[in-house]
Structure 1
Amino acid sequence: MLLIIKFIVNHTNSQFGIRTAAADRRRSGTTTKMDDIQNREDIELLVNNFYERVHNEPNLAPVFEMPQEHWQTHISRVINFWENWLFQTGSYNGGMMWVHLQANEKNSLTTERFEQWLALWFLTTDSLFAGERADFVKSKALEIGQIMNAKFNSKS
């Protein structure tokens, strides 16, 4: 967890050039506070900004290198995953652990990588949204990351 804190301190939003609908609304004067995640469009914004950051991290980018058609499938599944958790849409049909087991075989999903992934997720979420749903996606990501990290990196 200490690495997450160090990573967050060392990476600022200005470094990533984040595009945010919520920030645009604040600049235009239509809102003075950050909005919570409201719909699929907000989830798409979050996921796309998050992976923009991931692809700029030398330690994480190799994990997510794949053919374009696989990339689009991955993004859709991630969006569906979060949409289902937040709005109970039934749009996600499972298989998350299996996909990550396969990724771990190609590029070891180390504790350091999990911590960087979580730090970027927290930074991205906090740069775009504030509220119960934003807190939920951070909490759920932390829970999932801890479970996966324990499975992949336990010394048994």
Structure 2
Amino acid sequence: MKTDIRNIDDIKIFVDEFYHKIQLDDLLGPIFNNTITDWPTHLDKMYKFWNAALFGVPGFKGNPFARHAPLPINKVHFEQWIKLFHETINKNFEGDIANDCKYRAELMASMFQSRLELMKGNPNKVIV
């Protein structure tokens, strides 16, 4: 029986599995694998991000949008990212926090996608 996401150990389960899927994905893998040179550090940052997002635990520092803005990504990439994220959460967890996690991922993808569209073709836009 699946449980809800309860703590950092559960976060590590879904982050590790999700990014493993990303690395192997035909669409997203080349982008992530060419951008991320230190996967353990990236994964640790993602553990902290989701721990802060889901449980309010301090520790995450960074600007996720600024990191994604220069990447060659568009709506198709975000759709695939969300698909893999939902698959990972649904395979491992169920409950209110798992649903909140998927909702937050959708909001983040939507916000990133909207901001990237607004920036397109305008070199005067600030991404930070």
Q: TM-score interval w.r.t. the shorter chain?
A: 0.7 to 0.9
Report what 1:19 is aligned to: none
TM norm structure 1: 0.71
Report what 1:122 is aligned to: 86
Residue 94 (structure 1) shift? 2.8
Report what 2:76 is aligned to: 112
Report what 2:113 is aligned to: 149
| Letter of the 2:24 counterpart | N
Cα deviation, 1:70-89, whole Å, max 9, x if unaligned, reads 22221111110000111111
Residue 45 (structure 1) shift? 0.4
Residue 36 (structure 1) shift? 0.2
Q: Which ranges in structure 2 are unaligned for 5 or more consecutive residues? A: 122-128
- Count how many residue pairs are aligned between Structure 1 and Structure 2: 118
Report what 1:97 is aligned to: 65
CA distance in 1, matches of 2:88, 2:117: 25
Q: Which ranges in structure 1 are unaligned for 5 or more consecutive residues? A: 1-32
CA distance in 2, matches of 1:72, 1:101: 22
Report what 2:31 is aligned to: 63
Please tell me whether Structure 1 or Structure 2 has the larger radius of gyration of its CA atoms.
1
| Letter of the 1:61 counterpart | G
Alpha carbon RMSD of aligned pairs, Å?
Answer: 1.5
Q: In the alignment, which of 84, 91, 102 is matched to residue 138 of structure 1?
A: 102
Identity %: 27
TM norm structure 2: 0.86
Residue 114 (structure 1) shift? 0.4
Structure 1 residue ranges, 4+ long, deviating more than 4 angstroms after superposition: none
